[in-house]
Structure 1
Amino acid sequence: MGLPRKLLVWLALAVAISVPIAAAASSPLLAWRDPVYIAAGFAGVIAMVLLLFQPLLAGGLLPGLSHRRARRVHGWIGGLLVAAVVVHVAGLWITSPPDVIDALLFASPTPFSVWGVIAMWAIFAAALLATLRRRLRLNPIVWRRAHTALAMVIVAGTVAHALLIEGTMETMSKIALSVLVIAVTVKVIVDLRVWARRSRSKRQSSSSSP
């Protein structure tokens, strides 16, 4: 008798997030790094791992979680994602302020810095938009479209940043995680049909109007 589908999904997710973390923890590059730099690097790894959960929660793809609970956890992980990015950038600032300043000013000669900064600002913007959603009284369709657009920028920027940088993450596990994050994000965006719903509602509105 095989394992239940629910258990298989959670086991697959556990492998997907534990392998990159374990590979990064055993990286030989950590041997001569100071603790602050190591903490900053692992904060970046954790941020990318957390990014995998967000589309899974938004699309209701994690078994055992109701829609309401999934939305709540999605918000919590969004907060953790912001915290991980802050720790990542703060740690790099402590170890090398000029490099961080160049990156923030888009003056860094390394392309991965540009993509990292783009992803960082998109994460902050998505978190701010979620925090101010009720106060701004955004139309649900506008909210979905804006949040989805920011999510696309976050995923694209994070994956480009991770793939271009030669850091503590092991190459194959990093590529596998990147492909998985992109695949899940694309699937959820297609399944939710954010823009298609908007178009359909427009057609229904125009057909019902005199």
Structure 2
Amino acid sequence: MGPLIWAALAAAVCVPIAAAAASPLLAWRGPVYILAGFAGILALGLMLVQPLLAGGYLPGLSSYRGRRAHHWIGGALVVAVVIHVGGLWITSPPDMIDALLFSSPTPFSPFGVIAMWAIFAVALLAALRRRLGLRPRTWRIAHMLLAIVIVAGSVVHGILIEGTMETVSKAALCALVLGATMKVMADLRVRRKRATLRGESIARQ
């Protein structure tokens, strides 16, 4: 069962990338723009991996390794977003300024910008968590709320863009990211409630 889960995950991430690589629209794009676009696709794929790691659903990984992988892939997600935004800035600074100022006429821009800032906020909080003295519960709530913003913004951003990504594989990946995030958040909430009830039961004994 383990190999099948990993194969399904690899397919979910790689098929949209392969489909985008076969897009005829790439013939009219420069290398920097192409790099930026594929960095965005990779970032969306990494968003599918993150909740699965957080929920412990990927076989063969211990709890410790899962947390470490979640940490490093979070860093890779930040790098992918920086490449995505940086490449688009190089190819068209006025468009990126409009997007960052929420004055772009394209409907997908504000969702991407909001998701970007939420990603940076999570990374910053994670890096400064100990220095800021964040309690585990505070960090968990902040992380979860920002994750919701990241996933919702990224999915809407991706769906609204009509570009090199193939429609069906893009929609499937977005649905998987959204579904996995909702499933993991619900399961983690149930686990915490059970742990709390178990602790109260032991305290009464």
Counterpart among 24, 30, 36 of residue 28 in structure 1: 24
Letter in 2 for 1:53: V
Aligned residues: 199
Partner of 1:150: 146
TM-score normalised by the chain length of structure 1: 0.91
**Which residue of structure 1 lines up, in the alignment, with residue 89 of structure 2?**
93
Return the offset for 1:183. Answer: 0.6
Structure 1 unaligned runs (5+)? none
Give, in whole Å, the separation in 2 of the partners of 1:187 and 1:53: 13
SS in 2 for 1:65: coil
1:127 corresponds in structure 2 to 123
Q: Which contiguous aligned blocks of 4+ residues in structure 1 show a shift greater than 3 angstroms?
A: 194-197
Deviation at 1:140, TM superposition (A): 0.7
In structure 2, relative to structure 1, the CA distance for the partners of 1:195 and 1:149 (3 Å cut) is farther
- Map 1:57-206 → 2, pairs under 5 A: 57-193=53-189, 197=193
Partner residue in 2 for 1:40: 36
Identity %: 69
Extract unaligned runs of 5+ from structure 2: none
The code of the aligned residue for 2:30 comes to D
Question: What per-residue deviation string (whole Å, max 9, x for no partner) do you get for residues 49-107 of structure 1?
Answer: 11111000000000000011010010100111000000001110111100000000001
Distance 1:156 1:115 in 2: 8
Query: Matched residues in 1 for 2:104 and 2:191: separation?
Result: 36
Cα offset, 1:194, TM superposition = 7.8
Aligned residue type for 1:87: I
Q: CA deviation at 1:195?
A: 11
**TM-score after normalising by structure 2:** 0.93
- Evaluate the alpha carbon distance shift between residue 7 and residue 69 of structure 1 in structure 2; reply closer, same or farther with a 3 A threshold: same
For 1:195 and 1:120, how far apart are their aligned partners in 2?
A: 30
